[in-house]
Structure 1
Amino acid sequence: MAWLDVCSVTDLQPNSGVCALVQGQQVAVFYFADTKEAYAISNFDPFGQANVLSRGLIGDINGQPIVASPLYKQHFNLETGVCLEDETMKIPAYPVRVVDGNVQIDIG
């Protein structure tokens, strides 16, 4: 894996998302404050055809961490990138970790 430092964990908004430019790609990074877990997916909403997913609402459905698109409200699993309403639609989901206070992503 090729881990890249993206930001400090203190740069993330608890229970919200931010957009980061990683090797020319927009990546939405989310931080769940309760569990101290971070997730990273493509910022591109395939339904709305716009880079907006970092502005979506996060939560969980049946124990799965999700983000709801701010445009048409489709839910994307933050671990797999699969759309819950249409499983044929999938966006890239990236491995993410926090090391020494730095958020690292492997966009492969």
Structure 2
Amino acid sequence: MHSDRQLNQWIPVCNLSDILPNTGVCALINGEQIAIFHIHDGEDRVFAIHNYDPNSEAAVLARGLVGSLGERIVVASPIYKHHFDLQTGECLEAPEHSVHAYPVHINNQQVWIGI
């Protein structure tokens, strides 16, 4: 069985230090806006989801507030406050409006997105 890193084309996006801890930024990759989040909760982790919020029909998720609901790390959209799971892209209030989640990893302080 192959790992995600073997099945995806990996693209370097930015340095981890370019994203303040517990915030997100938006990157344009192959014409798609991708929201990348740097979570620091004792360790540095990164997550990536599509930046477009289907509930508000606006590309705003990178500007949302990061937090947790139970065990889930989420971002709250800045418009209607719907919560999106950063690991899966699931919209907790309206699952039919879930977004794509992208594989992402850190290598030598560089953030890489798998497309």
* Matching of residue 31 in structure 1 with residue 25 in structure 2: no
Aligned to 1:65: 73
- From 75, 91, 109, the equivalent of 1:101 is 109
Quote the Cα distance in structure 2 between the aligned partners of 1:47 and 1:86: 8
**Letter in structure 1 aligned against 2:12:** D
Stretches of structure 1 lacking an aligned partner (at least 5 in a row):
none
Q: Deviations over 1:55-104 (max 9, x none)?
A: 00001111111000000000000111111011222101000000011000
Task: Judging by fraction of residues, say which structure has more helix.
Answer: 2
Quick one: percent identity of the two aligned structures?
Answer: 46
Aligned structure 1 segments of 4 or more residues deviating by more than 3 angstroms: none
Q: Deviations over 1:2-46 (max 9, x none)?
A: 110000111111110101111111100001122311000011010
In the superposition, the TM-score normalised over structure 2's length comes to 0.90
Give the superposed CA RMSD: 0.8
Aligned to 1:85: 93
Q: How many residues align?
A: 107
Stretches of structure 2 lacking an aligned partner (at least 5 in a row):
1-7
In the superposition, the TM-score normalised over structure 1's length comes to 0.95
